[in-house]
Each structure stands twice: as structure tokens, then as C-alpha cells.
Amino acid sequence: MTVTHTVLDSPLGPLTLRAHDGVLSGLYMTEHRHGPAADTLGARADDGLPAAREQLGAYFAGDLTAFDLATTAGGTAFQQRVWAALREIPYGGTVSYGELAAAIGQPTAVRAVGLANGRNPLSIVVPCHRVVGATGSLTGYGGGVERKRALLDLESRGAQRRPG
């Protein structure tokens, strides 16, 4: 298995994209809470993951509302269910951790859902930033709450520009 990474400039600061055999397996922000150790990122490939770089550019420009990328992410069966449910949250929308727990059929697993959400290795592409506290408050985010706010603001502006 070949592991590589590329670094992409973004409005949130540098993003590190990791690939396993050319498939996006991680997207991490500077000082990402659960980011991988630098020595596990593989060789730097500045031309790597062209589709991911292109789609992220379109997303930040407000021109893309859903990613269409091959991805791979290791995790437990429970984490995989949570991450799949994250992909169902519409662009510009939010859900609470409790609503996400109910969506996967485990309404009492709110804390476990929060932990799985925090371990999502594909930030932005798998939109864990769209999960908020029960009162709508911005709770923790692996890339920092200020980046979570920036992503939600970006999507809110984009959703307002699109016809119903």
C-alpha cells in the first residue's frame, strides 16, 4: 500500500490530504485534534489527489455543495455508521448529536456519536462540522470551533444563493 499526502491552501489555512493507493483517506487542518502523526502521512505528492483538490476549491468558492470522491477510512462499524449518517446532512443544514444518534437508530448513544464524529478522518468531505449541540451551540470540532463556524457560514451563504 502506498501512502502519500498533499497540502492544499484554503480559506481555513493549509489542509493536509492523505491518500492510500491514490484514494482520499484523510483531510486534516492545522493543529487537527485527532490528526495523524506526521511520519504516517507518507511521501509528499504535490500533484496528488487532483479531484479532491479541485472539488475542495469549488466548495470553498461556493460552487460545490456535495463531494463526489472515492474515499476510504478505517474505523469501527459504529464509527462507519456515524460517518455514513454525516454524509446525509444537507449542505447548509445542521443536526444535533441527539438527532444524529436517532438517525442511526441509537438515540441513547449521543456521547458515542460525539466521539465518533470527532474521530472522522475526512473533515469537510464527510461533514462533521454540520453537527451542533442540542441548543444549536457550536460544540467541539477537530479543526477548532472557529473553523467550524467558518464552514457553517460558508454553507449558509451558499444555501441562500441557491433557489429552493
* 110 within 8 A of 101, measured Cβ to Cβ: yes
Enumerate the β-bridge partners of residue 105.
none
Q: Which residues are catalytic?
A: 128
Reference 131, options 112, 108, 114, 143; nearest CA is 114
Enumerate the β-bridge partners of residue 138.
none
d(CA 53, CA 164): 28
d(CA 122, CA 27): 5
Nine cell digits for residue 20: 492510500
| DSSP-derived 3-state class of residue 55 | helix
